[in-house]
Structure 1
């Protein structure tokens, strides 16, 4: 039990890690409107739930312990490394931090934060001059920040999946989809035909492959 107690019950790490990542996201996203705060609060709740199970109380491992122990009897399921469920289930018995899912999660989390940061800057620059944001990352997708949040969340799921965060994931995705639709209605009301032209050339969430590989978007598509 000593090893298990050291692996979990570390509530100071729960607080520190949740605070660091929430403040990190805040520095990139900088919520201003009620809608911004709603999306940021949901993202923060996901992080708190994640770190509670990562360092505080391993609810998922307790719930699944019977099945896990019977199917994978040679693993200490209440050790910290066992929380990296995907590495354990797929047979990665070396250091899970060097496992394929964990490494992939770093790229998704890092890429997501880059999208959130660059998206905020492009949007802020456009709002300062009261123009439609169509440059930079907004020339690839219409909602880069929401895509960024989903990538970060999915990256954490690959790294440390839990019952609660898996249940939260589709709810958060639906919430971001609804927020994106609300933003589009507001942009359409504000920018009219310019926004209609923009939506015809730039997809909402997944960039066109041709655009990714260097094809240029019609320069006049997003002009007012």
Structure 2
């Protein structure tokens, strides 16, 4: 496997810069405060580092599965940078993977995810300042918009550039966010009692619960 075959890889500086940009971007929205916040953010950051290390550094996933990929998809140069968009390649999108359906869907998920993280933090921060429940804005529909946002961002990146390590990390992170959400709910019940139980009955946790105003 020569240097010519690995065009678009070995760019470790670019991998570092991209990982740093997205991590700092998420940090500016999420603003972790508790130890739990930092654990969830650290896991998210590790996912991004693993992703960009393969996207611009060394394509470990393609290297490990190159034999199988080449035998099943012989028309693809699997060591070109574009081939890292595995889903586009495997589903036959050969024109430009950056405009493929999975890539475009990833942009929507990543953008919406960061918006949720930002919108959730603004409401949560204001509530914490007043030692009150966060029930306005996006919290009128979701109890855990920031965790939903992180999962959407992770899903978007996974669609855009799936790798062996990130595929393994993804369900672990999702389970971690669900468990953190459940822990936070128990803490909120301990602090706010029936008021938070009523809020839980009216509001979805990870999926919005749509109902009419008259039904509330």
Same fold (TM over 0.5): yes
Task: Decide whether the 8 Å contact of 1:3 with 1:79 is kept in 2.
Answer: no
Partner of 2:123: 122
In 2, the alpha carbon distance for the partners of 1:89 and 1:114 equals: 30
Partner of 2:14: 13
Partner of 2:66: 65
Partner of 2:162: 161
In 2, the alpha carbon distance for the partners of 1:189 and 1:50 equals: 38
Task: Decide whether the 8 Å contact of 2:110 with 2:152 is kept in 1.
Answer: yes
SS of equivalent residue, structure 1 residue 7: coil
Partner of 1:222: none
SS of equivalent residue, structure 2 residue 127: helix
In 1, the alpha carbon distance for the partners of 2:123 and 2:213 equals: 18
Could you list the structure 1 runs, at least 4 aligned residues long, displaced by more than 4 angstroms after superposition: none
Q: 1:157 to 1:117 in 2, by over 3 A?
A: same
In 1, the alpha carbon distance for the partners of 2:75 and 2:68 equals: 13
Task: Decide whether the 8 Å contact of 2:7 with 2:79 is kept in 1.
Answer: no
In 2, the alpha carbon distance for the partners of 1:90 and 1:172 equals: 27
In 2, the alpha carbon distance for the partners of 1:106 and 1:126 equals: 30
Task: Decide whether the 8 Å contact of 1:14 with 1:52 is kept in 2.
Answer: yes
Confirm whether residue 216 of structure 1 aligns to residue 208 of structure 2: no
1:103-131 deviation digits (Å, cap 9, x = unpaired): 00000000000000000000001111111
Partner of 1:173: 174
- TM-score w.r.t. the length of structure 1 is 0.93
- Equivalences for 1:198-217 in 2 at 5 Å? 198-208=199-209, 210-211=210-211, 215-216=212-213
Task: Decide whether the 8 Å contact of 2:77 with 2:83 is kept in 1.
Answer: yes
Q: 1:106 to 1:16 in 2, by over 3 A?
A: same
The Cα of 1:168 is off from its aligned counterpart by 0.3
Gaps of 5+ in 1: 220-224
What is the CA RMSD across the aligned residues, in angstroms?
A: 1.2
In 1, the alpha carbon distance for the partners of 2:3 and 2:214 equals: 60
In 2, the alpha carbon distance for the partners of 1:206 and 1:52 equals: 32
Confirm whether residue 54 of structure 1 aligns to residue 55 of structure 2: yes
Task: Decide whether the 8 Å contact of 1:201 with 1:217 is kept in 2.
Answer: no
The Cα of 1:5 is off from its aligned counterpart by 3.7
1:115-169 deviation digits (Å, cap 9, x = unpaired): 0000000000111111100000001010000000000000000000001000000
The Cα of 1:217 is off from its aligned counterpart by 7.8
Task: Decide whether the 8 Å contact of 1:139 with 1:202 is kept in 2.
Answer: yes
SS of equivalent residue, structure 1 residue 38: helix
